[in-house]
Each structure stands twice: as structure tokens, then as C-alpha cells.
């Protein structure tokens, strides 16, 4: 517990915690405004409001998720690499010689902060999202179960991505390089959609397009989607895929950190 308290104290001394919280708040506000404008233009007199309520609730209740997860992963990277940037890692390892314990403490502290980021986004998204659905005459009760289920899976996504970020930070000590790699891995999912779709079309094999959901970003998107769609794996399959990325990255990063000279 003392090691975890020490890590939380370090985070409070960095601006990245407050910056990530503020960034999560801002992207949620922008996403809510975006969805309000989109839904207002698309929902008309002939729209099946009750039938589409689950999909709409899932969407607005997790507003800001995409960039919120990206910010959380960068936060996970930074709480490790900042030790190397500020040259405090030697003192940290002298105070706690078991380096694996330091990594685990950083993960625990990161999970606590990730929950706070998730809570900030969710309180705003569920509250304002409910108001948006009511203003558009969408029966809130019809989509409440799916929406809250998506919220729970969204929390899991925040936890997994911060673990993934800590794992990347342990592998790449250079902060700029680690953040760039993290962003490329996350946003690379957009390129993966295009590439796998083109390959599926070229080879006339639909299963190739489904491979996009086994990349970190694609798995995250599939994991937080409870509304069935063609080719999208079950949420628990996507969750296991994403969790495997986080565990493998962290485990390998811990081994590298234990063997690496930090002088």
C-alpha cells in the first residue's frame, strides 16, 4: 500500500492527471453536442424510436469514449516514462528494489485514476445523454438496460487501456516515442478498417474484414458494443482480446524493466 500511495503522490505532482481529467471532460462535451446535432437531424416522424432506443442509449451514454480512452492510455504511458524524463526512476528503484512491485503499484494507481476519468465522462454522458433522448421523444426506459450495460463495459475499457499504457511505458522509456507509438496503435485501427475491408473485397472473403476487431482499437470498439452487428465478435471475446494485449505488454515490460540498467 505504501508503494501505491507513493505512486498516487507522484501523479498528484504531475500536471498529466489534471490535464487528462480536463481533456476527458472536454471530449465528452464535444461528443454529446455532436450526437445531439446528428440525432436531431436524423430522427423524424417516421423513426422507430422505441426500436432504436437501445442503440441510441448505448451511443450517447458512452459519448467521448473514443478520445477518452486514448487520453487514458497516454496517461498510463506518462506515469511510467515521466520517471525516466525527470530522472527519478533510480530513486524509485532504490526505495523499492523489487521492480515488478513498482510496476504493479503504477498499474494500481493508474486504475484508480482511470476510474476517476471514467466517472467524470460517464456522469456527464449519462445525465446529458438522457436529457438528449428525452428531448427527441426517445423512450428512455426501452434503451436503459443496453445503455447501462455499455457504460459498464466502457469502465472495463478504461481499465484495460491504462494497463496497456503502463505496459508501453515500461517498454519504451523515451516519453515522446512511447506516446507516439501509443497514438499510432490506437488510431491505427482506423487504417485497419480500411485495409481489411479492401483486402476482403479484393479476395472476396468477408472474414478478412472481421480481422479489424482483433487489433487493440477494433477490439475496444467491439467490446463496448452490445447491439449485435454483422462480423462483430461478442463483447466478451473482444474484452479477452484487449485484455490479452494489456497483460502481454505489461508482463513483457516488467521483465524488461527488471533486467534493464537504469543508471
Least confident window among 79-88, 190-199, 236-245:
190-199
Pick from 173, 179, 177: nearest CA to 88: 173
In eight-state DSSP terms, residue 225 is -
pLDDT at 72: 93
Q: Residue 112 above 90 pLDDT?
A: yes
More confident position, 33 or 144: 33
Mean pLDDT of 173-188: 82
C-alpha to C-alpha distances, 103 to 31, 161, 238, 257, nearest whole angstrom? 33, 15, 25, 9
Per the CB < 8 A criterion, the answer to whether 262 and 90 are in contact is yes
pLDDT at 75: 93
> What percent of the chain is modeled with pLDDT above 90?
15
pLDDT at 227: 63
Per the CB < 8 A criterion, the answer to whether 57 and 133 are in contact is yes
Region of 204 on the Ramachandran plot (φ > 0 left; ψ -120 to 50 alpha; else beta): left
pLDDT at 226: 65
In eight-state DSSP terms, residue 204 is T
Per the CB < 8 A criterion, the answer to whether 226 and 146 are in contact is yes
How many folded domains does the chain comprise? 1
pLDDT at 228: 61
Q: Residue 263 above 60 pLDDT?
A: no
pLDDT at 113: 93
> What percent of the chain is modeled with pLDDT above 70?
95
pLDDT at 208: 80
Per the CB < 8 A criterion, the answer to whether 250 and 166 are in contact is yes
Pick from 209, 227, 219, 222: nearest CA to 246: 219
What's the CA gap between 73 and 17, in Å, rounded?
Answer: 12
What's the CA gap between 213 and 32, in Å, rounded?
Answer: 25
Nearest 5 degrees, angle CA 256-CA 104-CA 119? Answer: 125
Query: Where does the pLDDT of residue 194 fall: very low under 50, low under 70, confident under 90, or very high at 90 and above?
Result: confident
What's the grid cell of residue 259?
533486467
Alpha-helix residue ranges (DSSP H) falling in 96-214: 99-135, 140-171, 175-203, 206-210
Q: Residue 256 above 70 pLDDT?
A: yes
What's the CA gap between 130 and 147, in Å, rounded?
Answer: 10
What's the CA gap between 17 and 159, in Å, rounded?
Answer: 15
Mean pLDDT of 235-260: 80
Least confident window among 113-117, 179-183, 189-193, 238-242:
189-193
Query: Where does the pLDDT of residue 27 fall: very low under 50, low under 70, confident under 90, or very high at 90 and above?
Result: very high
Q: Which residue range(s) make up the domain with 16?
A: 3-41+49-259
Mean pLDDT of 240-245: 84
Per-residue model confidence as pLDDT tens digits over 60-83:
888 888 889 899 999 999 988 888
For the chain, the average pLDDT equals: 82
Distance of CA 100 to the CA centre of its chain: 24
What's the CA gap between 32 and 142, in Å, rounded?
Answer: 20
Number of neighbours of residue 33 by Cβ within 10 angstroms = 13
Distance of CA 70 to the CA centre of its chain: 6
Per-residue model confidence as pLDDT tens digits over 91-109:
777 777 777 788 888 899 9
pLDDT at 261: 66
What's the grid cell of residue 74?
497516454
pLDDT at 71: 92
What's the grid cell of residue 153?
463495459
pLDDT at 49: 76
pLDDT at 170: 84
Amino acid at each position: 500500500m505504501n508503494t501505491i500511495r507513493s505512486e498516487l503522490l507522484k501523479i498528484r505532482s504531475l500536471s498529466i492527471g489534471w490535464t487528462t481529467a480536463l481533456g476527458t471532460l472536454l471530449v465528452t462535451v464535444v461528443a454529446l453536442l455532436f450526437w445531439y446535432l446528428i440525432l436531431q437531424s436524423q430522427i423524424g416522424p417516421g423513426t422507430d424510436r422505441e426500436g432504436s432506443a437501445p442503440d441510441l442509449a448505448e451511443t450517447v451514454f458512452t459519448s467521448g469514449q473514443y478520445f477518452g480512452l486514448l487520453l487514458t492510455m497516454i496517461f498510463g504511458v506518462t506515469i511510467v516514462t515521466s520517471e525516466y524524463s525527470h530522472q527519478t526512476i533510480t530513486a524509485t528503484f532504490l526505495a523499492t528494489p523489487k521492480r515488478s512491485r513498482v510496476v504493479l503499484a503504477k498499474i494500481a494507481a493508474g486504475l484508480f485514476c482511470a476510474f476517476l476519468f471514467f466517472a467524470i465522462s460517464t456522469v456527464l454522458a449519462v445525465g446529458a445523454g438522457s436529457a438528449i433522448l428525452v428531448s427527441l421523444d426517445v423512450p428512455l426506459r426501452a434503451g436503459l438496460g443496453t445503455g447501462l450495460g455499455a457504460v459498464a463495459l466502457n469502465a472495463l475499457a478504461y481499465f484495460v487501456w491504462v494497463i496497456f499504457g503502463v505496459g508501453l511505458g515500461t517498454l519504451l522509456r523515451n516519453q515522446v516515442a512511447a506516446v507516439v507509438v501509443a497514438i499510432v496503435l490506437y488510431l491505427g485501427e482506423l487504417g485497419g478498417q480500411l485495409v481489411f475491408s479492401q483486402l476482403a473485397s479484393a479476395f472476396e472473403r468477408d472474414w478478412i474484414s472481421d480481422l479489424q476487431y482483433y487489433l487493440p482499437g477494433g477490439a475496444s470498439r467491439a467490446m463496448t458494443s452490445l447491439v449485435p452487428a454483422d462480423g462483430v465478435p461478442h463483447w466478451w471475446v473482444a474484452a479477452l482480446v484487449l485484455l490479452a494485449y494489456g497483460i502481454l505488454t505489461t508482463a513483457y515490460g516488467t521483465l524488461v524493466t527488471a533486467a534493464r540498467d537504469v543508471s
